[in-house]
Amino acid sequence: MPCVPINTPKPATLDDARPVSRTLARAFDDDPMMRWFFPDDSSRDAGLNRYFTTLFTRQYAHHGVCERTDAAAAFWVPPEGQEKAVPDAETIQELQDILGDRALLFRDAVEAAAKHTPTEPHWYLAVIGADPAAQGQGHGAALLRSGLAKADAAGLPAYLESSKLANLPVYEHFGFTVREEIQLPGGGPVLWSMRREPRPPSGT
């Protein structure tokens, strides 16, 4: 029987909430925006685990296209899911409880980023991250290719925001270009909004 590579994307379901959240907490530990939301080194890991569990189980698992490998996860939102993927009142309350005194900063950051979201139909890469321990094994790249193939099949552009400068060349390698630099309010970090034109699906 052929061996399936450990970085082969597979659907992420609610049963995967714990490993997905654990992976993303490790992936985003050094992310400037997550460090701004969770400034305490001693509690960041636990906070990020709760944060990603809430986003995954209450939003993206229901209204997005969620995939994982053994060491990475990605949440995409197609055009038809974008209105539904907006947090409801209970989700907002959960996030406020998790973020504590950083909740208002989080709200302002989300609102600031939303003002720059494209109005055209697009596939939105909401979250992608790989465990640093598996760096260089192609997990993130495999998830990027999988999501972009779906956007290309629909003939639609892809959009994301990154708060980590070092990640921009990675996204550029996959065809994204920087649209804007967004300075988050309240002394927050810079977000780079990036867009990728659709490409003809492979084999056409």
Mean pLDDT taken over the chain = 94
pTM of this prediction exceeds 0.75: yes
The encoded tokens of residue 147 equal 């999501």
In CATH, the number for domain 10-196 is 3.40.630.30
Q: What is the pLDDT of residues 112-170, one digit of tens each?
A: 999 999 999 999 999 999 999 998 899 999 999 999 999 999 999 999 999 999 999 99
pLDDT at 83: 86
Domain ranges of the chain: 10-196
Note the helical H segments in 14-159.
Answer: 17-27, 32-37, 41-55, 61-63, 89-99, 103-114, 139-153
